[in-house]
Amino acid sequence: MPTETKTGWGLIGASTIARQYMVEAIRTQKGHEVVAMMSSSAERAKAFAADHKIESAYDSLDELLANPAVQVVYISTTNELHRPQVLAAAKAGKHVLCEKPLALGVDDAVQMVRACNAAGVVMATNHHLRNAATHRKIRELIKGGAIGRPLFARVFHAVYLPPHLQGWRLDKPQAGGGVILDITVHDIDTLRFLLDAEPVEVVGIGQSAFMAKEGLEDGAMSVIRFDNGVLAQLHDAFTVKHAGHGIEIHGEAGSVIGRNVMSQRAVGEVVLRNDTGERLVPVEHEGLYVRGVATFCAALQGTGKPAATGEDGVRSLATALAVAQACRIGSLVRVPEINIQGIQ
């Protein structure tokens, strides 16, 4: 009997997101297996590997990358580590699924995408919300003309950071902490996806209410102008327990409203409102991370693109950094032009 060839994944980072969602998401893909794990602590690597029945555990990136059973890496370390780890993975010829924000600077992120392109490996960014059945339905409705020309968007993504995540996000600027690189970047990516448009300029004001330290924001409100004219208002926070979350896109002919849709879970509903009234639009929910991994795996086989490419990660990061800058300087900031293909 022929033996089935498996695509082996190495996990870089003993993170909560890997533990809660990604190991399982990878394992749902036929022909894919998690074969190795790496942490900066040998103890954490071993414990994670034992908990998830992963064959090899390393505390060295080079050793994980030297394992021939690893063809793909999933990087979910703190944000300042994504860049060196992606560059090392590309150099070793491994395909890369990297967490958002891709990096702490636009040039760094561009360098990461170029390195993967040059190495001929697939790179994707784990912006999960594009994979939600709700957001895909909202995009379909907008594209199908259900609300006419879109004019405004409002994103409600103010949540309460659970105690087990109240670490580096709140007190480590050098690790890319703060609500803007954590949550605003997701909103931006989602809006880019829903509107099929690119951000042009931003304004914003940050808040450091009581959780964040070291000059980081634990809340922010921003407004983004897109190249199709849409104005989007974003409210992001780590500090409020009862705000609820969702997204609204308002057009000349109607409004589409996603309730409870800025979530890691396959939940929420889509409502279409126009002159004839309001109706619930049916959606078939599926796991966001499962679908994200599935599109990445298909891209590995040469079918289609990952739900969020490396370039998407760069563009969404560039706008998030523009929001952070606008909060710092208190005036309008233009989003920089991105040239992935340009000369290095």
Say which residue the tokens 């090899």 belong to.
56
Contact 251, 150 (CB under 8 A): yes
In the window 104-143, what residues touch ligand NDP (CB under 6 A)? 126, 128
Residue count at the site for ligand NDP (CB under 6 A)?
A: 21
Per-residue contact flags (x/-) with ligand NDP for residues 169 to 198, judged by CB under 6 A: -------------x----------------
Say if residues 152 and 127 touch (Cβ distance below 8 Å): no
Q: Minimum distance from CB of 210 to ligand NDP (Å)?
A: 20
Listing DSSP states for 154-179 in one string gives EEEEE-B--GGG-SHHHH-GGGT-SH
Position of tokens 């659970």? 162
Answer yes or no whether residue 332 interacts with ligand NDP by CB under 6 A: no
Give the distance from CA 334 to its chain's centroid.
22
Q: Which of residues 1-20 bind ligand NDP (CB under 6 A)?
A: 13-17
Check residue 100 for interaction with ligand NDP (CB under 6 A): yes
Q: Is 53 left (phi over 0), alpha (psi -120 to 50) or beta?
A: left
Of residues 38 and 221, the one with the C-beta less far from ligand NDP: 38
For residue 160, which phi and psi values (nearest 5 degrees)?
-115, 120
- Smallest distance, ligand NDP to C-beta of residue 61, A: 10
User: Does 44 sit near ligand NDP (CB under 6 A)?
Assistant: yes
85 touches ligand NDP by CB under 6 A: no
Q: Is 295 among the residues that bind ligand NDP (CB under 6 A)?
A: no
Contact in structure between 289 and 25 (CB atoms under 8 Å): yes
Shortest spacing between CB 152 and ligand NDP, in angstroms:
26
> Of 95 and 128, which CB lies nearer to ligand NDP in the complex structure?
128
**Integer-rounded Cα radius of gyration of the chain:** 20
**Which positions lie near ligand NDP, rule CB under 6 A?**
13-17, 39-41, 44, 76-79, 99-100, 126, 128, 165, 167, 182, 264
